[in-house]
Amino acid sequence: MRALIVDDERLARKELMKLLEDHSVIEVVGEAMNAEEAIQLTNELNPDLLFLDIQMPGKTGFQLLEELDSVPVVVFTTAYDEFALKAFEVNALDYLLKPIQAERLAETVAKITAKERSKAIAAQNPDKKLGLNDQVFVKDGDRCWFVSLTNVRMFESDGNYIKVYFDTNRPMIHKSLNALDEKLDERAFFRASRKHIINLSWVEGIEQWFNGGLMVKLKGGDKVEVSRRQAAKFKDMMSL
Amino acid sequence: MISYKKRLYWTLQITGWLTYALLQVVFYSLSNENEIPLRRSVFFIVEGLICLGVTHLFRYYVNQWKWLNLGVPNMMLRVLPGIFMLGFVIYFLRVPVSIVLNVVNVQRLEFDPNQIIIGSLFYVFLLFVWSLFYFTYHYIERYNKSLKYEASMIEIELNNLKNQLNPHFIFNALNSIRALVDENPGKSKQAINQLSNILRNSLTFEKKGLTKFDDEMKIVNDYLGLESIRFEERLKTEINIHPDSNNFLVPPFMIQTLVENGIKHGISKLTEGGIIQVKTLADKNRLKIQIRNSGHLINGAKRGKSVGMGIKNTKHRLKLLYGDEASFQIVNENNNFVLTEIIIPRTK
């Protein structure tokens, strides 16, 4: 796995590099000392894994994640940040406390590689678009999630924001639906109307609607109208 | 707006004396079945109003002379003669009313010495019950207040302890030192000494004591030494100490806390890093300590809780130690620097 280390302290980066020497599965492909650098390097190197400090000058680790389109596996490294870590849903979180203990790092590496192996079986997108296997980082107020796109039923535009529907949550992200649409894999996601993008694997039923449009029912009960303009395209995609 | 306590006071006064007047009417009518003249009822109500007025005046002087601040025995020594005197006052205030309303006894006993004493003693008893309620209420309230004050003091102490041993700083320092062991063993040994000095001092720190200025600066220098390892070229320090500074005693860890605040909220937020400057000016009676750091102070809600807490604690400590003789301020000196300044008086 190719990893990027993000920490503003040189010695902290050096120490982590040294600890990672014992783990040949992890190859450190770059180091960044602030969020700007990290965003640039992530887009350039496309790492599988981020070791990420939360408190950094300029942007914090969270702000960094919010700016990434697709988020690699993230391991937070922090000296003491109980508040920041509490923001997370339990399942989403891997973190290491500094000074990092070798045993604890070994556990984390084992956990990540196991997860990665199961993920690697699913085919990767060649064109680097966001598919069902990718995850995104979502922060809404005090709460944070790493959401796998498989679990996202739909995106709904709301002013300058997008509501992300998954499980029982609907956090908002500050993006435009058009920009998001361009990044999503069109085989997995469909632009139903000006307001909605739906996850095709969640579609449960389709009904005829007024003016030649369609009404799509998603698993879980949400209903989304497909505009007339998109209806033909949708029928095309959903039929054999 | 009438405060809750004022409203409670008036409600109790009015309902209390009105009830008293009504009871008088009822009892009078029971013992004199054949007549309940209107004049009699008016008389009882006026009597109630007199009692209300007198007790209100009594309360005014109790507050004026701060009897509530006295201990119970001292308070009793004043209240008991007071209510005896007021008992007679009520008695004689009521005499003209009874004459005017023509509800006097047939025998004209108003000025009979025995009648005066018995009548007055009845009012003394009423006033005694009134005082019992009034003073008990206030003593209980005071007791609650002192409990609350104690609780808030304990909270401040706890916060001080928490602030002092900032875990974020300690673990980051340990992390840098560990990396330094390979890179520069000599420097890492020095860093361990600096950290152990800070930890030792924080363990022996007494919250109300004072420490020599030089000792405090030793801690500050050790602290800055450790942060320099962490921030490397991003942290520049300038120390400029007036030679007479060591004639002063300072609250332990106060300068260190303010320097740490400057780094935590100033320099650590800047990608390029910045400067922290500690400067003192001393004259015969006062020591001025100035801490400047690169950065910009953001007021209001955006300024997280922790900085507000640190400043609040520092102000509170200064107030406890020096009253109004010390001063504290934190301001944006210009766009690039935040100035924190404390002025401490000389302690004998």
What global pTM score does this model have? 0.65
Closest CA relative to residue B173, chosen from A5, A15, A94:
A15
Average model confidence (pLDDT) for chain A? 86
- Look at residue A95 and tell me whether its pLDDT is greater than 60: yes
pLDDT in tens, A181-224: 988 988 889 999 999 999 999 999 888 888 888 899 999 889 99
Omega of the bond leading into A99 within 30 degrees of 0 (cis): yes
Indicate which of A5, A7, A11 best probes the interface with B, i.e. most B CBs within 10 Å of its own CB: A11
Distance in Å, alpha carbon of B184 to nearest chain A alpha carbon: 11
A10 near A53, Cβ under 8 Å? Answer: no
More confident residue, B41 or A109: A109
* The pLDDT of residue A236: 82
Does B232 sit within 8 Å of A10, measured CB to CB?
A: yes
CA pair distance B304, B308, nearest whole angstrom = 7
pLDDT of residue B295: 92
The reported pLDDT for the residue numbered A121 is 53
Query: What's the CA gap between A138 and B242, in Å, rounded?
Result: 52
In chain B, CATH 3.30.565.10 covers: 165-345
Distance CA B345, CA B348 (A): 10
The pLDDT value recorded for residue B119 is 85
Q: Kindly determine whether residue A9 and residue B176, on different chains, have CB atoms separated by under 8 Å.
A: yes
The runs of H, that is alpha helices, within A135-227 are 177-183
Which residues does A75 contact at the CB level (< 8 Å), separation at least 6? A49, A50, A51, A52, A94, A95, A96, A108, A112
Instruction: Please tell me the predicted confidence (pLDDT) of residue B30.
Output: 80
Predicted confidence band at A238 (pLDDT cuts at 50, 70, 90)?
confident
pLDDT interval class at A10 (50, 70, 90): very high
Q: Inter-chain contact A80–B168, Cβ cutoff 8 Å?
A: yes
Residue-wise pLDDT tens for chain B (348 aa)?
567 888 999 999 999 999 999 898 888 888 776 666 788 888 888 889 999 999 999 999 998 888 888 888 888 899 999 999 999 899 888 888 888 877 765 555 667 788 888 888 989 999 999 999 999 998 888 888 778 777 766 766 666 655 566 788 899 999 999 999 999 999 999 999 999 998 888 877 655 578 899 999 999 999 999 999 999 999 999 999 999 999 999 988 889 989 998 998 899 889 899 999 999 999 989 999 999 999 988 764 444 444 567 787 788 788 877 878 999 999 999 989 999 999 999 986
**Does residue A38 sit at the B interface (CB-CB below 8 Å)?**
no
Q: Topology of A149-238 in CATH?
A: OB fold (Dihydrolipoamide Acetyltransferase, E2P) (2.40.50)
Q: How many CB contacts within 8 angstroms connect chain A with chain B?
A: 59
Contact B175 A58 (CB under 8 A): no
Q: CATH classification of B165-345, choosing from 3.40.50.920, 3.30.565.10, 3.40.50.300, 2.70.70.10?
A: 3.30.565.10
Q: Tell me, what amino acid is at B217?
A: M
**A9 in contact with chain B, both atoms CB, cutoff 8 A:** yes
Q: In this predicted structure, what is the pLDDT of residue B303? A: 47
Structure tokens at B66: 């701060």
Q: What is the pLDDT of residue B166?
A: 78
Tokens of A84: 């920041």
Q: How many CB atoms lie within 10 A of CB A57?
A: 19
* pLDDT tens digits along A117-168: 766 655 454 557 888 888 888 888 878 888 889 999 999 999 889 999 999 8
Q: Do domains A2-121 and A149-238 have the same CATH topology?
A: no
**Rounded Cα–Cα distance for residues B314 and B328 (Å):** 8
Instruction: Tell me how close the Cα of A87 comes to any Cα of chain B, in angstroms.
Output: 16
What gap in Å lies between CA B235 and CA B227, rounded to an integer? 8
Domain A2-121 falls under CATH 1.10.760.10 = no
- Chain B residues in contact with A57 by the CB 8 A cut-off are 234, 268-271, 273
Sorted by sequence, the CB contacts under 8 Å of residue B194 that are 6+ apart come out as B222, B223, B225, B226
